[in-house]
Amino acid sequence: MKSEVQRMQAVQSPIIPVVGELIRNSPGTISLGQGVVYYPPPPEAVEQIALFLAQPQNHKYQAVEGISPLLEVITAKLSAENQIKIDRNNCIVVTAGSNMGFMNAILAIANPGDEIILQTPYYFNHEMAIAMASCRPVLVRTDENYQLLPDAIESAITNKTKAVVTISPNNPTGAVYPQKTLQTVNKICREKGIYHISDEAYEYFTYNGVKHFSPAAIPQSSDYTISLFSLSKAYGFASWRIGYMVIPQHLLVPIRKIQDTILICAPVISQYAALGALQAGVNYCREKLKAITKVREVVLQELQAISEFCLIPPADGAFYFLLKVQTDLGAMELVKRLIHEYKIAVIPGTTFGIDDGCYLRVAYGALQAETASVGISRLVKGLQNILT
């Protein structure tokens, strides 16, 4: 019992509920905090529910790795959009969201005390999952634009390293990693005999002509590349909890054990809805992305007013900006003041593993243009008044 308590004490508390409570205690606050989209799933997803209900067998457990029709649609999607071919060397496992896919991967490839390389700023749930598995996150910095530094990644690898994690498009920074850089990291992993875990939950959210690249599309990379995908963002599917992972075939047995123990299978009703969403296809997401692109432009324009004391690195993906604010205030202190005094909520950078200054993550995917304009104006006014 004592060792379990110590293990969980090493895990940071999730920040979203903390900020959520501050918002509830300050009615009228606009949230630029949680990373969700403004739109619901496509009608095709809802239509599949009737098909689910029409089959009594659907109320029983289904295959651990996912229902066959969904696996077939995912296979076609991966081939057409990601250039990932499913063959005898790899396979798909449907998960209850991408976070579960990440936990599956860590438990399958690492022993207690092993090391997993994260880029800073990191996605906090990744760091938390590594700590829960009694492994050690090894943090490697990115450059001033939050881009990968392959030489630093390679230098951080030890005989205990099991994987390098990349997220592109990135949460929390919005950075998109170039194909060449991801190929370099993937090659390092191959040469060192470790895994490359590629989180691609924001694959459709890119701007200014920037393209997303899937490392599993690299020839002969199947044996050591683990790819994580999610419907939560692109298809407005957050509460349905459906994601999927592409894994080396040799990891299927351990991952089956893990998923069967924790979940048995992803909720079958949600898998049916996911089938409908993927049948609607990427055009549904791209149409909705037009509105997010306009909101992004509003946010960028408003942020220019505080550029003298707020660094805004380029962010060509996801729906985040990670601001570096020139202040001696702590990030959480600044977040609390913005909520209490200006009714605008953002997320402190400390939760993403950066403590060399004051950083704030601004999320803009959940808001319509008018609300986003009001919210970002509050943020700009608040920062101007607090910091000048």
Interior/surface letters 170-188, b for 16+ CB within 10 angstroms, e for the rest: bbbbbbbbebebbbbbbbb
298 to 136, 320, 384: CA distances (angstroms): 40, 13, 18
3-class state of residue 163 by DSSP: strand
pLDDT at 131: 95
Sole residue written with tokens 């997303």: 212
End-to-end alpha-carbon separation of the chain, Å? 50
Rounded Cα distance, 300 and 125, in Å:
27
Rounded Cα distance, 74 and 94, in Å:
9
pLDDT at 15: 84
Q: Which CATH superfamily is domain 2-40+283-387 in?
A: Aspartate Aminotransferase, domain 1 (3.90.1150.10)
Q: Could you say which DSSP state residue 206 is in? A: B
pTM: 0.95
Tokens of 195: 């895994």
The answer to whether 163 and 129 have CB atoms below 8 angstroms apart is: no
pLDDT at 257: 97
Q: Could you say which DSSP state residue 216 is in? A: G
The answer to whether 148 and 101 have CB atoms below 8 angstroms apart is: no
Digits of tens for pLDDT over the chain (388 positions)?
A: 455 567 888 888 888 888 889 999 999 999 998 889 999 999 999 999 999 999 999 999 999 999 999 999 999 999 999 999 999 999 999 999 999 999 999 999 999 999 999 999 999 999 999 999 999 999 999 999 999 999 999 999 999 999 999 999 999 999 999 999 999 999 999 999 999 999 999 999 999 999 999 999 999 999 999 999 999 999 999 999 999 999 999 999 999 999 999 999 999 999 999 999 999 999 999 999 999 999 999 999 999 999 999 999 989 999 999 999 999 999 999 999 999 999 999 999 999 999 889 999 999 999 888 888 899 999 999 999 998 8
Tokens of 251: 């990891």
pLDDT at 4: 53
Tokens of 331: 């990030």
Choices 3.40.50.12500, 3.40.710.10, 3.30.830.10, 3.40.640.10: CATH for 43-281: 3.40.640.10
User: What ranges do the domains of the chain cover?
Assistant: 2-40+283-387, 43-281
pLDDT at 380: 94
The answer to whether 346 and 361 have CB atoms below 8 angstroms apart is: yes
